[in-house]
Amino acid sequence: MSVKFITIEGIDGCGKSTQSLRIAEWLEERTGCKTVRTFEPGGWPDGKTLRDFILDSKSYSAMSELLLFLADRSEHVNRVILPSLRQGFNVICERYNESTLAYQSGGHKLNFSQVKRIIRACNFPEPDIKIFLDIPPEIAVERIKSRGNKSDKFEEEGLPLLKHVSETYRRIADDEPERFIRVPCGELNEDEVCAEILSRLEAVT
């Protein structure tokens, strides 16, 4: 199986960025192919304006929030992900469709099947592998607090939101076991999580 497009998912504070960097380095060495690291929302040229608007403003509806994330993804797919894949590069992306399903349905209470249908209608390219860092929400909340950064509007909702989002991620991963690498991170340190991901990726790359 040729794995070119990988997404990395999980609740806030799960350690996506750290692992994405390590996976990108490993993948580049293993495949000899440039690996583009990217993220959502806002991972495209000029994407910061839309990212800041989505994450700072509290005044729009849940449906508008969903559509804003999809607009962001449309630009990201067309300007970064597809051009990179067409050039033969690997792409590793922090957050993608599963974030939308987990946060906008699980977290912000839109209907799960409706959100799924709307995402599917967008026809975004499907990742080869989706990594899910499954961390207990209680641990994630502590990590977010200890970072001391200004919280975005999702982080401000804290534990209740993360619990719903986490349950929805599990449901999504259970529905599609063949594409998901799910790593229960509760007891594991950063190196152990990385070793687990790489050994599972090794089996499919």
Q: Which residues bind ligand TYD (CB under 6 A)?
A: 12, 39-41, 55, 69, 94-95, 99-100, 103-104, 152, 154
Give the three-state DSSP class for 69: helix
Q: Which residue has the tokens 């993220």?
A: 39
User: Which of 103/180 has CB closer to ligand TYD?
Assistant: 103
CB of 129 to ligand TYD, least distance (A): 18
User: Which of 33/125 has CB closer to ligand TYD?
Assistant: 125
CB of 67 to ligand TYD, least distance (A): 11
User: Which of 84/104 has CB closer to ligand TYD?
Assistant: 104
Closest CA to 10 of 193, 151, 146: 193
CB of 1 to ligand TYD, least distance (A): 26
Token output for 181: 């690498």
CB of 81 to ligand TYD, least distance (A): 13
CB count within 10 Å of CB 31 equals 16
Q: Which residues of 89-112 are buried (b: 16+ CB within 10 A; e: fewer)?
A: bbbbbbbbbbbbbbbbbbbbebeb
User: Which of 95/130 has CB closer to ligand TYD?
Assistant: 95
